Amino acid sequence: MDHALRNYLVVTGGYWAFTITDGAIRMLVVLYFHLLGYSPLQVAMLFLFYEFFGIVTNLVGGWLGARIGLNRTMNIGMAMQVMALLVLTVSDSWLSVPYVMAAQALSGIAKDLNKMSAKASVKAISKSGDASLFKWVAILTGSKNALKGLGFFIGAGLLQWLSFRGGLFVLAGMLFMVLLITLWMLPSDVGKMKSKPKFTQVFSNIKAVNVLSAARFFLFGARDIWFVVGLPVFLYEKLGWDFYQVGGFLAFWVMGYGLVQALSPRLLKNHHPTGGSARNWAFILALFPAGIALALQQGVAIDVVIVVGLILFGIVFAINSAIHSYLILAYSNHDKVAMNVGFYYMSNAAGRLAGTVLSGWVYQTHGLTGCLWWSFGFVLMAGLISFALPQVTDNERNIKSNVA
């Protein structure tokens, strides 16, 4: 087997395993602490450090990956996630808001180290001007989101079958085994720069990367404003669904979203996306949270509106996300890919942080409809910012020149 393909498969497998635990712990924490009597805003605040330290991690992680190698940053992330899972297994008397926030901070650092390492590795192990880059990154990102959905389902199931702590022990044991496998199989120099970069180099000087990062902030903030806290609590409180139903529905949504993401190259007929693609698809996406909010305000059947609306939103959001995930790699140089991807996902984490906090606050003050209108505004901003993106990527120019 080709070494690049082998490394890609190992990286993807490790990313898959980590993603399952990330989705599962999110569902375990949301549902368990709501059961303990936490308000929607309090539940949202539990993830404040998770998202905040994701911002810091992406900024530092790209620089660190460029210095010590992406395989090592990936393994560090896995080890920290194992620790994050285990520290939550203490008795309920220990599970204060500050304690859980600290545990989630550890998980947030782990998640973004792992994500940055996996996605940057795709560019690092691909050939310069490789026309298959869109396909490989779409498969990695799409499969990751499908498995995060599976993680939601597993987390809800573990809470119902094994209890909160039993589920955490199972997840920690599984991820520890994967950590040992990746330590053995991955080479030590993936994504490592020949010269040691200075920390000041973490801030990108590529305009396209900066603009795309700003658009990413609003795109992912738009999703999390209603998806992180508002939606699961709404399904549990207003529609009367049990934990298994909430976790199962959100799991299948994220799995479908991931499948669409993986199939995006085919849906777009293998056309390499440009800045115009990001702009146009953002404006299309903005129609759906606005449409769902209007339908709820008009008194249309709530369960039908939520289920159908969320499915349609997920399909279009997946295409948006796949386009962004391709563009950040296309805009990046091979040598600095870890740092550019780290900077980009710093903005992603900042958007998730804003969306998470707003999800709890807006749901508590204005309900799910308010969350949807905020989501609409964020998507609209992502589309407007995307006007400043280049219409042709450097990677596409390389592909054309190689073909010529």
Summarize pLDDT for 212-249 with one digit per residue, the tens: 999 999 999 999 998 878 888 888 888 888 777 887 78
Give the integer Cα–Cα distance in Å for 273 and 113: 26
Give the integer Cα–Cα distance in Å for 28 and 44: 13
Give the integer Cα–Cα distance in Å for 233 and 341: 33
Over 80: is that where the pLDDT of 317 sits?
yes
Q: How many CB atoms lie within 10 A of CB 196?
A: 10
Based on its alpha-carbon atoms, the radius of gyration of the chain, rounded to whole angstroms, reads: 20
Task: Give the range among 78-92, 204-218, 239-253, 349-363 with minimum mean pLDDT.
Answer: 239-253
Secondary structure of 148-171 in HEC code, one letter for each residue: HHHHHHHHHHHHHHCHHHHHHHHH
Domains belonging to the chain, first-starting first, are 3-190+206-403 (1.20.1250.20)
257 vs 403 pLDDT, higher one: 257
Whole-number pLDDT of residue 403? 28
Check the CA dihedral 264-265-268-271 and report its sign. Answer: positive
Q: Provide DSSP, 371-383.
A: HHHHHHHHHHHHH
Token pair, residue 59, equals 């900024």
61 vs 259 pLDDT, higher one: 259
Contacts of 14 (CB under 8 A, 6+ apart): 74, 78, 114, 118, 178, 181, 182, 186
Over 90: is that where the pLDDT of 376 sits?
yes
> Of 115, 106, 232, which is closest to residue 172 (Cα–Cα)?
106
Give the integer Cα–Cα distance in Å for 379 and 377: 6
Whether this prediction's pTM lies above 0.75 is answered by no
Over 90: is that where the pLDDT of 280 sits?
yes
Contacts of 20 (CB under 8 A, 6+ apart): 147, 148, 150, 151, 154, 171, 174
Whole-number pLDDT of residue 261? 80
Token pair, residue 346, equals 């710093």
